[in-house]
Amino acid sequence: MNSREWDQADPLIFEVWVLEELRKAGFRVAMTPLSGDGGVDGIGLAPAGSAIPAVLVQCKHVQGGRTLGPAAVREALAGLGRYELPAGTLAMVVTNAPNFSSTALAEARRGGARLVGRDDLVRLRELARSLLRGDVQVNEGG
């Protein structure tokens, strides 16, 4: 997908695309239920020997180039306690929004969440591979 397609896509199609990129990077992915998921859209289990055991994904598809606020980060971090995931699981927020608010950035730093914004979407698969290898620090980018 390209930036125009991301913006025009149905939010569910965006979620499916994000999880497919993680699958292609090496994660074993599962989409959470469409409702009652606590804001978590998917979970990716890493192969044995990876730098992280799993990633919990919160996708946010926005319209009109809006800045993404802290609610999505809070939901992703809260999801770590909602699901039975191994210690060290990374919360990740993936969005087509061009920017994150300063509060969202601060929440991510405080909670150890990885933010993937519009500019990083084109390299999402490589970013996911880097997370598996341990090449990327949690608060880089976003």
Averages of pLDDT over runs of 10 residues in the chain (142 residues) are: 74 92 97 77 96 96 89 94 92 95 97 94 94 72 44
- Measured over the CA atoms of residue 105, residue 56, residue 126 and residue 12, the dihedral's sign is negative
List the end-to-end C-alpha distance of the chain, in Å, as a whole number.
Answer: 19
Q: What pairing do the DSSP bridges indicate for beta strands 28-31 and 54-60?
A: unpaired
CB atoms within 10 A of CB 96: 26
Report pLDDT for 120. Answer: 92
Question: Could you give the CA distance from residue 93 to residue 34 in angstroms, rounded to a whole number?
Answer: 17
